[in-house]
A and B are shown apart, each in its own frame.
Chain A
Amino acid sequence: MTRVSMKVDGVEYEDDVEPRTLLVHHLREQLGKVGTVVGCDTSNCGACTVLMSDPEGRQQGVKSCSVLAVQADGREITTIEGLSGPDRTLHPVQRAFHEAHGLQCGFCTPGMIMAAVDLLQENADPTEDEIREGLEGNLCRCTGYQNIVRAVQEASAEIRQGAQAEPAPPSPRAGEAQTPDDGLPREHVPDETIPQPVP
């Protein structure tokens, strides 16, 4: 076991880790930061992207499945869980992904958002091509790239106008929605599509 200390989402942690522990597993299993997901496990998909400080203290996007926890000793890390402000206020990139519908199944979203934050802190006003190239390390297997690019453009404009984090919109409760997932009203759903128990 090797002792490591790192600051994650503003909190100092000190833990003993096995040297082979990947940073993403340390974040999820030891620190409970399950907002960061493991996608492909081959360094391709970028779903596990977090920001990690380099020796000069610059926060940069890294794939946390391709960093050992011991390599993050003494570093500062920001995960998707540390991006929002107090009281569930959304970071402008999170808000833009919500408003521009920059996700479908949502699995790539934590990594996409962190990669977009990383890109925008280096280039606050990227062109569409620069956004697509900047997110080259992140895959969306729903292929929802159009709205992801749109979300990054909206976030870029907001950040340049000095936008700050603002409160998250309340999520509708099941009881308030017409149907549990707010889908089609019952009268528009053909009977044959409704599953029936086998007699």
Chain B
Amino acid sequence: MIPPSFDYAAPTTVDEAVSTLRDAGEDAKVIAGGQSLLPLLRMRFAAPSTLVDLGGVAELRGVREDGDAIVIGAMVTHADVLRDPLVNAHLPLLAQATSTVADRQVRHRGTFAGSLAHADPAGDLPAVALVLGASMEIAGPGGRRVVPASEFFVDYLESVVAPDEVLVAVRVPKQGAWQGRYEKFNRVAQGWALVGVAALVKRENGTVTAARVGLTNMGSTPLRATAAEEALAGAGDAEAIGAAAARAAEGTRPSDDMLASADYRRHLAGVLTKRAVASLV
């Protein structure tokens, strides 16, 4: 189908993008790669009055190193992330998880920041940003603010980015001694993750000393599996890891839908956590 009509603006600076959004009112929408928004427009699930295209804003491109973090601009595509030497050196979990996102064509257009701003609970990268302790730099009419990933996701398809704000960059601390692995389960090649698990562990002599576990699609936002994280600390063998991983779904309320029941999702969370952590020790 053909999308509904909208006005189109192609700003060349962040300030211009913000003022265009402010003038256009709350029905305006930002478009980066458009790989989530265009299908919604075509299905007429979204009807923005104005699309503000960030494609021409040069300052949103590029990945740079900033002390102990890597800063990824809002127009950096998944394909850019995959080939970036800084990401591969300092954020191997992000590179590995990104390689599982959608397909080549979508990765050529879709952006890392866009997939966070879209805030789809089935999206792979929100849980990865959460465990990596990323923070989002957001520009608005009142200037810029920084929001940690733990406060960024509000609800299903909703983040803290206001209608007149633009997510301009994502700052991701380098992994350092953390080893990471993203595991997801889906039934068909192009399917969304029924459940995904982003695991980070620190280990010493085969024993997990600290763990962070992020969950995809186990609620309306990405979540930390805190019970499993605590139980994983000190786990030294496969049995202990399995017992700790089995607690991954504690405190979650996953959806019960045509793709999977809530019980099945809880089961998958445990299995995938065990699989991810076991691959790291």
Contact = CB atoms under 8 A, between A and B. Distances in A.
Contacts of B103: 46, 136-138
B264 interface: no
Given A60-B79, A118-B104, A137-B106, A66 B6 contact: no
Interface residues of A, number: 34
A54 B76 CA distance: 11
A47 B10 CA distance: 28
Interface string A2-20: 1000000000000000111
B281 to A, nearest CB: 26
Nearest to A19: B8
Interface string B91-131: 00000000000111110110000000000000000000000
A115 B104 contact: yes
B39 to A, nearest CB: 5
Contacts, number: 91
A43 B39 contact: yes
B53 interface: yes
A61 B105 contact: yes
B79 A66 contact: no
Nearest to A137: B103
Contact of A42 (B3, B39, B55, B79): B39
Given A41-B1, A70-B53, A71-B55, A61 B35 contact: no
A65 B79 CA distance: 19
A146 interface: no
A144 interface: no
A43 B38 contact: yes
B6 A19 contact: yes
A67 interface: yes
Given A137-B102, A137-B105, A67 B34 contact: yes
Contacts of B106: 43, 63, 66, 137
A60 B108 contact: yes
Interface in A52-83: 52, 54-55, 60-63, 65-68, 70-71, 73
6 contacts: A44-B190, A67-B34, A71-B55, A115-B105, A118-B104, A137-B103
Given A54-B108, A68-B34, 8 more contacts: A20-B2, A44-B190, A49-B105, A55-B55, A61-B104, A68-B38, A70-B53, A115-B105
Interface of B: 1-8, 10, 31, 34-35, 38-39, 41-43, 51, 53, 55, 61, 77, 79, 102-106, 108-109, 189-190
Among all A-B residue pairs, the 5 with the closest Cβ atoms = A137-B103, A19-B8, A60-B108, A136-B103, A20-B3
Interface of A: 2, 18-22, 25, 41-44, 46, 49, 52, 54-55, 60-63, 65-68, 70-71, 73, 115, 118-119, 134, 136-138
